[in-house]
């Protein structure tokens, strides 16, 4: 069993920090400016945004575990298991802008679905790997992308 870490790029760190500061500022401004609905509005908006941030944090990729029969994409909460027997293709991608149909565009990573219907768990757009299985496509990133591709590429 081998473990590969997924680290955030500088862009992801800045986007996440900026989003957190912006959320706090919006909630404080709503509470302080509107006497009639300020506290209720601030709490509702704060709860919606906080729930969204928790969702993206929970789905953010933490590490990739390669064992004998499968590849585990360990998220902060939960995991995705990809059986090696279902892998059709493995590729290393160069830098890409990742056109998302929905998801996070930098906050805790690029998490969601892309235009080609891939499940995206990318935290560093310079070290991306794509895995195509018989039924789904996955894009994720790791520090040692070349080594990981060599290890899991179907023979």
SS3 of residue 38 by DSSP: helix
pLDDT (tens digit, 9 = 90+) per residue, 92-114? 888 877 777 787 888 898 898 88
pLDDT of residue 138: 93
Which range of residues forms the domain containing residue 116? 1-155
Place of tokens 């944090």: 57
Q: What is the band of 155 on the pLDDT scale with cuts at 50, 70, 90?
A: low
DSSP label at residue 99? -
What is 66-83 written as a DSSP string? Answer: E-SSEEEEEESS-EEEEE
Share of the chain above pLDDT 70, in %: 93
pLDDT of residue 19: 86
Report the interhelical angle of 38-58 vs 10-33 (nearest 10°): 160
Tokens at 16, concatenated: 């996440």
If one counts the domains in the chain, the total is: 1
pLDDT of residue 73: 93
pTM: 0.80
65-80 mean pLDDT: 91
CA gap 109, 10 in Å, rounded: 11
DSSP label at residue 7? P
pLDDT of residue 72: 92
Phi/psi at 5 (nearest 5 deg)? -85, 150
Question: In this structure, what CATH number is given to the domain that contains residue 66?
Answer: 2.30.29.30
Q: What is the band of 34 on the pLDDT scale with cuts at 50, 70, 90?
A: low
**Which of residues 67 and 40 earns the better pLDDT score?**
67
Q: What is the band of 36 on the pLDDT scale with cuts at 50, 70, 90?
A: low
CA gap 4, 102 in Å, rounded: 26
């Amino acid at each position: 069993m081998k473990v590969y870490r997924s680290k955030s790029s500088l862009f992801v760190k800045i986007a996440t920090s900026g989003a957190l500061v912006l959320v706090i500022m919006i909630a404080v401004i709503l509470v302080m400016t509107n006497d009639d609905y300020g506290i209720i509005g601030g709490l509702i908006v704060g709860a919606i945004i906080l729930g969204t941030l928790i969702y993206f944090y929970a789905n953010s990729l933490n590490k990739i575990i390669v064992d004998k029969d499968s590849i585990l994409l360990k998220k902060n909460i939960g995991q995705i298991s990809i059986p090696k027997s279902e892998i059709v293709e493995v590729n290393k991608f160069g830098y890409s802008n990742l056109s998302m149909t929905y998801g996070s565009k930098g906050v805790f990573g690029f998490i969601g679905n892309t235009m080609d219907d891939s499940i995206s768990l990318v935290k560093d757009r310079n070290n991306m790997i794509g895995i195509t299985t018989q039924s789904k496509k996955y894009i994720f990133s790791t520090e040692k992308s070349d080594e990981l591709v060599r290890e899991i590429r179907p023979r």
